[in-house]
Amino acid sequence: MRLALFQPDIPQNTGTLLRLGACVDVELDIIEPCGFVFSEKALKRAGMDYLDLVRYRRHDCWEDFLYYRTEHPEEYGRLVLLTTHASEPYTEFEFLPNDIILMGRESAGVPQEVHDMADARLLIPMNEKARSINVAVSAVMVIGEALRQTNLFPAVRK
């Protein structure tokens, strides 16, 4: 299971999702350019002391991510986009262990070409008067369901 962030805008959300990855053993792909300076020094300064636990890969652009994905098919499975422009609820989707949950930019989602490349497009059912849920909160909800379905949560400490 992987979580991919497409050109994230907000460093706090990226830090939150890196910490999530560290805690639940989910690898992350950061697809640049980011809307902020992405550096380990900045993350550590922001209190992100989980960098030694998280496995993440930075990609210079979408095309680099796609190339890396084709070169590593055992790690990179279906591209599952979480978007408000979908009709299938994530709660009705059957996740696979090597799915890539793709999150769009906080400010703009993903471009149409990325949307069109997704193997699945999922949404979070919500109040019709609301516009969207924070990207980090959305990712947590969907990753939680995906890990539950695939039985990939880390073992419980006793």
Angle between helices 11-24 and 135-150 (to 10 degrees): 20
Q: Which residue stretches of the chain are H helix?
A: 11-24, 40-45, 62-71, 112-117, 135-150
Is 152 a residue whose pLDDT tops 90?
A: yes
Q: What is the pTM of this model?
A: 0.93
Give the pLDDT mean for 95-116: 95
pLDDT of residue 46: 53
Q: What is the pLDDT of residues 31-81, one digit of tens each?
A: 999 988 887 776 665 546 777 889 999 999 999 999 999 999 989 999 999
Give the pLDDT mean for 104-115: 94
Integer Cα distance of 71 and 65 in angstroms: 10
Give the pLDDT mean for 81-97: 96
C-beta of residue 102 within 8 angstroms of C-beta of residue 129:
no
Q: What is the pLDDT of residues 1-32, one digit of tens each?
A: 999 999 999 988 998 899 999 999 999 999 99
Domains of the chain: 2-150 (3.40.1280.10)
Is 84 a residue whose pLDDT tops 70?
A: yes
Helix (H) or strand (E) holding 27: strand 27-31
Closest CA to 2 of 122, 99, 146: 99
Local confidence band at 156 (pLDDT 50, 70, 90 cut-offs): confident
Instruction: Give the bridge partners for 76, in sequence order.
Output: none
